Structures are given as structure tokens and as C-alpha cells.
A = this chain, B = another copy of it.
Amino acid sequence: MTGQVSRRGLLGGGVAVAGAAGAFAAGRTTAHAEVPAAAGDDARSATYAFRGAHQAGIVTPAQDRLHFAAFDVLADDRAELVDLLERWTLAAEQMTAGQPAGTGAVDGDVRLPPDDTGEALDLPASGLSITFGFGPSLFRDGEGTDRFGIADRQPDALRELPHFPGDILDPARSGGDLCIQACADDPQVAVHAVRNLARIGFGTVSVRWSQLGFGRTSTTSTSQSTPRNLFGFKDGTANVKAEEGAALNEHVWVGDDAGAGWLAGGSYLVARRITMTIEVWDRQPLGDQESFVGRTKGTGAPLSGGEEMTEPDFDMPGSNDQPVIPTDAHVRIVHPDAHGGVRMLRRGYNFVDGSNALGGLDAGLFFIAYVRDPGTHFVPVQLAMSKNDALTEYLKVTGSALFAVPPGAGPGEHVGQSLFA
């Protein structure tokens, strides 16, 4: 048994001493408490506290893997919804600490279903973060009904996103009353979290859609290097990072002045399932790919020169009286300079969901961005991209959703308490 915080060790030890994650002990002694000899165990012992001023999973250094799920609320009863949020909060606090959900009854009463489904029992916390969000339909459903008595608290900015050119949305991959973003450095831990939260919500919620992401495409901390998306390019170089406190307040966290005080310290989560036509992309010449992006494929430097972190020079002349970074290059179209300085905190993941009907892979980017206001920080950028960005030819948006992400839960609170208080 290693010194890491593992669910199995905690269950089996009789008396267990945990670190920052808190202590937990169960009575039954078990054998085989070893941690599996999987890759990366050392890095997987990281834990992030569930409670705090902000929810974890936003500025938390982007973990490697994602399981995202949107839920429909089946109940019409406010008390039942609040009860679920209380139970979800408890389970999220346990699982992010590397503990099983509930009482750890996998070793308990054989007459009852286990409180935890078990597939993460031997695994450390793996940097798990669990982030909850509320969709527009939670406040007012499709028929306009205020099921939970919160319609008057719906923020003005929490509306269905407008239709953008290039959107080919599948309703079964869009929207949702609630969402859960589970990020971890082990996919089994992220899947375990969503699966157990869905189990806890049985009868009150059902899964509307769910998305696995296997490779982070964004950097949310200066301690991380920039990964690559499925176009093979570095992605998210200019992302808002955790260390930029002023930028977070300006671009990510909702302020006290937004007309929905319960959301202060929270954010908005934009989710977009962006299918990439990778087989077509792969047949484009390297020079064209680089022109579409506005950066080199190898190092990620702007076509105007320098290194990855060098600011692009959009005025530098190229051939044929055109700038060296083309007018329709992605890096130019979405650059903050073109949008009054607005920035997003992106947290997307690559995905491959089997194959498509054309004999290729159903692959792309599950885009996630956190912004202070989608109306100012997302919609104008997306509109410009849909209309003018050279990359758009290789993208189809097949799912879309917007959620208000409440601030973090304080001691004794459930997530979203400020909304229901």
C-alpha cells in the first residue's frame, strides 16, 4: 500500500489518516489494498477541495480527462430538487477527496445496494473536480412553467444561445436543466463520479446527454504546457489562466452587479460539441492548415514569427498585399483585440465517439468556456467565427448548451444554496 489517498486504503484500514482531503474510516478489514500499477499514479494523488468561494473545475489546472453530463429534472417539486442538491454536494465532497460516495457500504450490509458502485475503489482521487451548473430550462421549462419557484431569479444572461451559422444541433446533445462537469487525471475516476451522481439522482433526474473527453485542449495554469487539438495544432495558448486574478474577475467570475446576486462568484459555462471533419482536414496542405489557424503547426508560433507565446502581429505584410496572418485566420478572428478585449477561460477536451456514416471517425473538440457573461464574452466571438473564420469549413457544431455555474458551496451549504435560499 502506498502513501496515497486511495478509496480502498481508506475503506480497509480500520483507522485511516488522510491528508488535506479529510479523514474517513470504515470498520471491516480487507486485504489487497494496493494501488494498481497504472501509469501516472504519482500525479494521480492530487486532491482539490470541493468547497470554496468558487467551484473547483474552473481555474483548477485542467486535468487530462473529462466526463460531462447534462440532466433533465423529472421532479416538479422544489424540496425534492434541493434534497438532490444536498445529496450531490455530500457525494461530490467525498469523491473529490478520494473517498467512495456514501458510507462505503461496498463492505457493508449485503441486503442493501452499495452506496458506491465500486469501480474507483482502488484508485486515488486523481485530481477529481466536480462542477455543477443550472440551465435556462431549470428556471422556466419548455412550456414556460416555473416548476421550482425560481423563475424570477433567472439571470438575464441565462437564455438559450442564438443559432449560429454552421450549427447543426442535435437536440439530444443540447440543453439540459442541470449539468455536471467531472474532470480527473484518470477517466475511470471521472466516469465513476458522474455515474454515482446519476445513481443518487435516480427518479429525480435522468441523463439527457453525456460526453467523454480524452485529451485536454486547454491550459488553465501557467504551470501547464499547451496541448494539441485534433487538427494537430496547439490550442488555447492565450487562455485566461488561474494566476491572472484581475483577468478572472474581469472575464470569468460573475460580479455582484449582474442583477442576479445569487450568482456572484459563479460563472457561465458554454458547452459546444464541435465535430471536426478530420479526414478532409488531413488532406489539406500544411501551408493551408497553418494559414487557416494563423500559427505554425510545429511550434504554435504565430505566422508573424517568434515563439508560441509571442503576440501575433496582425499588420505584418505578407505576399500579394495580404498580411502574413490572413484576414480569415482563426487566431485573428477570435483574438481579444477584435472583440473589445474580451477573453474566455477555455477548458475543452478532444473526443472520438466511434465512427460516422462516411467511413471516418466521429471526432472533434468538446468546447467548454467559462465567461462572466455569454452575451459579451461568447456570442460576439462565436458569431465572428461562424461568419469569417477559415476553420469553420472544417467544423460542425452538433451540440450546444449554456449553464449558470453557481459559486462554491461554503461549509454546511449545498451547491446552489444561494439560488434556493
Contacts and interface: CB of A to CB of B under 8 A. Distances in A.
Contacts of A186: 39
B43 A286 contact: no
A308 B32 CA distance: 8
Interface in A346-363: 350, 352-355, 358-361, 363
A121 B36 contact: no
Q: How many monomers of this chain does the complex have?
A: 2
A402 interface: no
A286 B37 contact: no
A39 B64 contact: yes
Contacts of A38: 40, 43, 64, 185, 227
A105 interface: yes
B44 A39 contact: yes
A161 interface: no
Interface in A98-135: 105-114, 116-122, 126-127
Interface string A273-309: 0000011001111110110000001111100000110
Contacts of A209: 354-355
B65 A214 contact: yes
B214 A188 contact: yes
A382 to B, nearest CB: 24
Interface stretch (A80-88, A200-208, A330-338): A200-208
Contacts of A211: 354
A141 interface: no
A352 B211 CA distance: 9
Contacts of A9: none
A232 B114 CA distance: 10
A297 B114 contact: yes
A229 B122 CA distance: 12
Contacts of A11: 298
A415 interface: no
B36 A225 contact: yes
Given A44-B39, A109-B286, A355-B209, A225 B361 contact: no
A210 B355 CA distance: 6
Contacts of A311: none
Contacts of A228: 118-122, 188
A105 B286 contact: yes
Interface in A168-206: 173, 185-188, 191, 194-195, 198-199, 202, 206
Contacts of A240: none
Contacts of A30: 298-299
Nearest to A351: B212
16 contacts: A12-B298, A31-B299, A36-B227, A37-B224, A40-B185, A72-B359, A110-B287, A111-B285, A113-B286, A118-B231, A119-B350, A191-B352, A195-B230, A198-B279, A207-B359, A210-B355
